[in-house]
Amino acid sequence: MQDPLCDQIPMRPPDQVMKLARMGSAHAHRLSFMRILMRRMQRENWRFSVTEFSIDHLGVGQAVYTVHTPDRAYSLVAFAHDLPDDQRSDRVIAQAWDCTFTLFDGIPSAEDRVRLAQNVPLQEAGRISQSELSLSRANRSVRLWSHVVNALAAGQQPDPAKVAEVGYLMRTTAVYGSGKFGAADRQDVEDRPEFQAPFQCEMLSVYLTRIFVMDLVEHMARCKGGARAVPLDPTLRRSFGIGNSTGLGMAPFLLNHPILLNNWITAKEQALARVRNLPKFTQTDQDRFTALVHRANLNLQLWRSDHPIQVEKLAALKADINALNTLLKAGPVVSWNAVYCFAEERFSIEGCELVVSLLIECHPELVDDLADTLAADETTGSQIDGTATVGRLLGQIAQIYGWAEELDWQEESNSARVWYVSAEKQEPRLGERFVEADIADYEQPLCPLRDVMRLAQCLEGYSKNTNTSEILRSHPEHRHALRRVQIAARYPYAEIRDNTICATMLPIDMLRLKLSFFGAKHFDPRSDRWVRINMFADAPYPDTLAQSGDDWFFPQQVCA
């Protein structure tokens, strides 16, 4: 559908946007899910209360944090444990955690609490119900937890440099929702306005977790230091986020939800196009944008990574921000689009995508309504049109996958990887097709490009007027690929325009795209298939929610 606000400059094409290198350089933006949640909490004046906090001096016990929306209540039920250091693992295959949580739909009764206490600490090995909206866990940052507890217990503030080095006191290692392990299905809550946008239950759970963790660390300091203990300085306290450690599970999500992916990318690209189409760029605009670039630079100072790929990207990003500052100081900029074009022509992809987020950030009045377009009804839209002819299908394949026509599938590097699920806690993994014996027998359908090329080869043997229904009858093995082509033809940003099983593919690119839509910052890859992030850092707590607005994502100052 044509957007009247984008009449001159079109949205960026899928062949540019849906490349893994660009997806893996995405930054959070105003349409990210935690930003949407924060705006709603503020707009509707959600009220927060601590219903229970029964935690002993070892950090063991339970707590309940309740949030009241205009129509409903939701409660984070937290279980704190005393976990030996050697059991602390971010992997799905972990068996124990420092804290476990569920987001309860309402206020739990005593009976609910007993049931939850028997199940939530077990995570995947337990069972939750339709009354629960999420299931999650978090581990302490060993680097920071003791330092903060000890400092506060001694009546001192923790070292801001150490705080900045890590950025969070606990990191979540999984936040399950949407029917997982018995939880409420998305269909159960999607009619509620507060959960219409994607992943709002999960984001609410993480926001409440952050509040709980900050209360917990101050509680532990009081237990240790008694009357000498002090609370965290409010500015420093606000800089803490909740960490998250994410593995391969997120990558299949993007491939398994093409219509949802399309809606996310469409909203973001539409937002960018609306800003680029603005005819005027005044001195006020330039001053506002310059201030935002300064804050993005502060954010960059807090972004740490030891991974060679990210180290290189951060160096390029620093140079790009310097170049942007030089441009803005040199004199009046012609238009918002001129800023974008400058970045696209001269910056690294990482830098260009930061500029995209900054441009979107400057125009809430133009883009915030697009939050309503992010969700997708995936029950319709994925049906196959068997009356489409072979000629039509081949035309669609050429248009969407044409960039890959020259790929040689006999070359092992082009199909080196196998996505599979391990019997061990059903952990998603990535194998080497030509190294690991029999691993291809367990391959998941997460290689649409190869499968569409196989379909295309099959189609070449038929007349262009043949209905695809005839082909599917004799070749059901191509059914998923044909569906994929038709979805991608209807939804332009549904398909990743890259080879998801080649030897050089970086799963972290897919993880980062999804995490950027969550609203994460400080992406820190730990390997090519593992990334840590920070969520809700610098976000206002309930006591300052009303006056903070939605202007918190880029820090105003750096404590370190």
Partner 1 sequence: MIPSLNEVSALARKACTGVGYSWGLSEDASRATATAWAYGFDSITALAELLQAKESGKISGDCPLHLGAHLCDSQPKTPIVFETLTSPELLLFIAADLPKITGKSYRITLKSAVFYATPKDLYQAEDQPNTDVFTLRPAAPKGQRLHPAPRRVASEAAWTTLTRFASRTYAPATESSRQSGAGAGLTDAD
Q: Do 139 and 90 meet the contact criterion of CB atoms below 8 Å apart?
A: yes
CA-based nearest residue to 39, from 178, 167, 197, 239: 197
Beta carbon nearer to partner 1, 67 or 471: 471
Q: How far apart are the first and last CA of the chain?
A: 47
The least distance separating partner 1 from the CB of residue 143, rounded to whole angstroms, comes to 5
**Helix/strand/coil for 301:** helix
The least distance separating partner 1 from the CB of residue 481, rounded to whole angstroms, comes to 7
Long-range contacts formed by 510-513: CB under 8 A, 24+ apart? 510/20, 510/23, 510/24, 510/250, 510/251, 510/254, 510/255, 511/246, 511/247, 511/248, 511/250, 511/251, 512/23, 512/24, 512/25, 512/26, 513/23, 513/24, 513/26, 513/254
Beta carbon nearer to partner 1, 90 or 350: 90
The least distance separating partner 1 from the CB of residue 285, rounded to whole angstroms, comes to 43
CA-based nearest residue to 377, from 175, 186, 177: 186
Beta carbon nearer to partner 1, 30 or 478: 478
- The DSSP bridge pattern shows strands 168-176 and 99-105 to be unpaired
Beta carbon nearer to partner 1, 231 or 431: 431
The least distance separating partner 1 from the CB of residue 526, rounded to whole angstroms, comes to 5
The least distance separating partner 1 from the CB of residue 168, rounded to whole angstroms, comes to 12
The least distance separating partner 1 from the CB of residue 126, rounded to whole angstroms, comes to 13
Give the number of other CB atoms < 10 A from CB of residue 256.
13
Q: Do 172 and 206 meet the contact criterion of CB atoms below 8 Å apart?
A: yes
Beta carbon nearer to partner 1, 47 or 480: 480
Beta carbon nearer to partner 1, 6 or 455: 455
Given the rule CB under 8 A, which residues bind partner 1? 85-86, 88-93, 129-130, 139, 141-143, 178-180, 182-187, 245, 247-248, 379-380, 382-387, 420-424, 426-431, 436, 439, 441-442, 444-445, 467-469, 472-473, 476-483, 526-530
Give the C-alpha separation, 45 to 50, whole Å: 17
Beta carbon nearer to partner 1, 304 or 318: 304
Beta carbon nearer to partner 1, 14 or 448: 448
- The DSSP bridge pattern shows strands 241-246 and 168-176 to be parallel
The least distance separating partner 1 from the CB of residue 466, rounded to whole angstroms, comes to 12
The least distance separating partner 1 from the CB of residue 560, rounded to whole angstroms, comes to 19
